[in-house]
A and B are shown apart, each in its own frame.
Chain A
Amino acid sequence: MRKITSKLYIALVFLFLYAPIFVLIAYSFNESKSRTVWTGFTFDWYVKLFNNEVILKSLANTLIIALIAAVVSTILGTLAAIGIYNMKKWLRTAIVNITYIPIMNSEMVTGVSLMLLFVALNIDLGYFTLILAHITFCVPYVILNVLPKLRQMNHNLYDAALDLGCNPIQAFRHVIVPEIMPGIVTGFLMSLTYSIDDFIISYFTTGANSQTLPITIYSMTRRKVSPEVNALSAIIFVVVLLILLIMNFKDIRDSAPKKRRKGGAA
């Protein structure tokens, strides 16, 4: 009896969590523009979506910015993590705590302060500021994913690499990077998702030409919610879901014992 109750409870929780999204996905296939009446199934909104220049441009903006920001923050974050790892203990603790601040901080505050900074420095708001802003909030995620991998690493591995003839750069490439790769990949994927998803910080740091998808959607819904937005949101949801699945799958694989056997019994 208790088992059934608890299962029912879980089902309810998931229903509440996902119902809005399923409604949204359903309505993205609704023939009518109405948000309340179902008049028939159609792909029209998807077709329209892919003919909407504004949306396509902001989609391109979003992806380009996310990619650049994720690549740069992955490189910066990884190097920073290695630097932090090699610091004296008290300094390391201090820096790790500072690293948490951008994550804990209200996005509103981060956004506004970045905007003020850019304005004060006389930098025109646009692609450049947007990318800088995204790098700012992505770097901590990379650091916090790479640091634990460094800590888990046998610290003699670096010495062993030097011992066998690597100079420090070769040791980094041939030994350290492969060891912390899982952390780097997770950091990269997180940066990518957070960058694609970001609205608040982008809102404050974007210019007229560099609007990202979330901002475009926001301005579209302000006038009148077009079912195109439903279609777009459905696509975004599926893409994010896929990335999450990949990340989880990777986690399971990384933490699985290495002595997996190839193939199964016949």
Chain B
Amino acid sequence: MNKNKIIELKNITMEYDGEQILKGINLDIHDKEFVTLLGPSGCGKTTTLRIVGGFITPDSGDVFFGGKRVNDVPPYKRPVNTVFQKYALFPHLNVYENVAFGLRLKKVSEPEISRRVGEMLELVDLKGYDKRGVNQLSGGQQQRIAIARALINNPKVLLLDEPLGALDLKLRKEMQIELKKIQQRMEITFIYVTHDQEEALTMSDTVVVMKDGTIQQIGTPQDIYNEPVNSFVADFIGESNILPGIMHRDRLVEFAGNNFECVDGGFDPMEPVDVVIRPEDIKLTPASDDALNGVVENVTFKGVHYEIIVKAYSDTWMIHSTKAPNVGEVVGITLTPEDIHIMKKSEVKKVNYFKSDLTEGSDIEQKI
């Protein structure tokens, strides 16, 4: 991505009560990009977002906005606005006043406020709700008011902390599309926090996968899905079968009691590795001597596909298929070399992704 960087986080660390919550976060965010911070609960997503918003100051490391160090710039002087995890609408103000709040502070004229609030309410599809109290709104409506209240200030960057977390599945899907549309129409940068991998994959330009205060991988949704750098990412992005294996040589791996051809290389001979295989990549075939055979233990209908649990060798496999075998049936598990992803053994890979940016950044630092 060659667009200009508007936010840079450099070696951010943060400690709470003697516990290291962020352990050196390096992240670049580009203009008009939809970046998603994805990771399990407690991995430091909200903390990272709060550092970008200016609500907390990192213990060490720097935050740059447009090349300027902003560590000590308070939130009200940063060109970002936030949609908080629980919306944080002002209960003592009605919908209109909530949305108008930012403009009121900037002493915008009354007719202009009225016009822009109207526009915003129309944008979020809540025209005519002006006089409602915010507690009289449904979760989805409150959520949209929170977005309107943030967007009306024309931020360069919008921070969203699990904005759809409290909504039911159907509404969440609708809002995902709505948010993506808003982001494209208004041409602003979104930094979006979620622990829902599907949400991250469908909405983002760039996904940042986090775990325990470190970034595991940064990439496009396709990169992250197809080329996870380690078994954590692989497992977190969609369910995966992760099996212990041994790399005999380049493009030959042993697992589940068999040797398989694969497409990866660059490991030491006989190096123990994690073998990652997506449930939807596996083909079920009739049992035969050429395939890895196993016994069907369980079949669950999941709407589009069946989730099939097969016990083969000493491993339990999860397989997605549109056809359902019978429980107890012996089936063959067939894999092509492209379906087999080899990962370094459970070691968290150092992400070298932004090496070049880092040196560039230190230049900026010196100029300031």
Interface residues of A (CB under 8 A from B): 154, 156-157, 159-167, 170, 174-175, 178-179, 181, 258-259
Contacts and interface: CB of A to CB of B under 8 A. Distances in A.
A165 B77 CA distance: 7
B135 interface: yes
A179 B76 contact: no
Contacts of B76: 162-167
B153 interface: yes
Contact of B88 (A156, A165, A167): A156
B255 to A, nearest CB: 47
Contacts of B136: 258-259
Contacts of A179: 90-92
Nearest to B161: A156
Contacts of B153: 164-165
Contacts of A154: 86, 88
B92 A178 contact: yes
B75 A162 contact: yes
Given A164-B149, A258-B136, 9 more contacts: A162-B54, A163-B55, A164-B102, A165-B76, A165-B153, A167-B76, A174-B101, A258-B91, A259-B133
Contact of B105 (A156, A157, A165, A181): A165
A161 B76 CA distance: 8
A167 B133 CA distance: 25
Contacts of A181: 92
Contacts of A170: 105
Interface in B40-84: 50, 53-55, 74-76, 80-82, 84
Main secondary structure of the interface of B (DSSP, over half): mixed
5 contacts: A163-B75, A163-B82, A164-B76, A165-B153, A175-B90
A184 to B, nearest CB: 13
B102 A156 contact: no
A68 B101 CA distance: 34
B156 to A, nearest CB: 14
A160 B84 contact: yes
Contact of B150 (A157, A163, A167): A163
A166 B105 contact: yes
Interface string B104-143: 0110000000000000000000000000010110000000
Contacts of B101: 161, 164, 174
Contacts of B106: 165
A157 B90 contact: yes
Contacts of A160: 82, 84, 88-90
B85 interface: yes
A174 B101 CA distance: 9
Interface of B: 50, 53-55, 74-76, 80-82, 84-86, 88-92, 101-102, 105-106, 133, 135-136, 149-150, 153
A258 B81 contact: no
Nearest to B105: A165
Given A165-B105, A165-B106, A178-B92, A159 B86 contact: no
A166 B90 CA distance: 13
Contacts of A161: 90, 101
Nearest to A259: B136
B191 to A, nearest CB: 13
Task: Give the most central of B74, B76, B82: most A CB within 10 Å.
Answer: B76
Nearest to B78: A163
Nearest to B149: A164
B332 to A, nearest CB: 54
A242 B277 CA distance: 75
A205 B187 CA distance: 68
A176 to B, nearest CB: 11
A159 B135 contact: no
Nearest to B82: A163
A175 to B, nearest CB: 6
Contact of B85 (A156, A175, A259): A156
A170 B76 CA distance: 11
Give the 5 A-B residue pairs with the shortest CB-CB distance, closest first. A156-B88, A160-B88, A164-B102, A162-B75, A178-B92
A18 B135 CA distance: 42
B135 A156 contact: no
Contacts of A157: 88, 90
Contacts of B150: 163-164
A148 to B, nearest CB: 16
Given A165-B102, A165-B153, A258-B135, A159 B55 contact: yes
Contacts of B133: 258-259
A181 B80 CA distance: 30
B55 A259 contact: no
B118 to A, nearest CB: 18
A167 B75 CA distance: 9
A159 B54 CA distance: 9
Contacts of B88: 154, 156-157, 159-160
A11 B49 CA distance: 62
Nearest to A177: B92
A110 B92 CA distance: 39
A162 B76 CA distance: 5
B150 to A, nearest CB: 7
A100 B133 CA distance: 37
Contacts of B85: 156
A254 B90 CA distance: 16
A163 B150 CA distance: 8
Given A154-B88, A159-B84, A179-B92, A164 B74 contact: no
Contacts of B55: 159, 162-163
A163 B105 contact: no
A258 B93 CA distance: 12
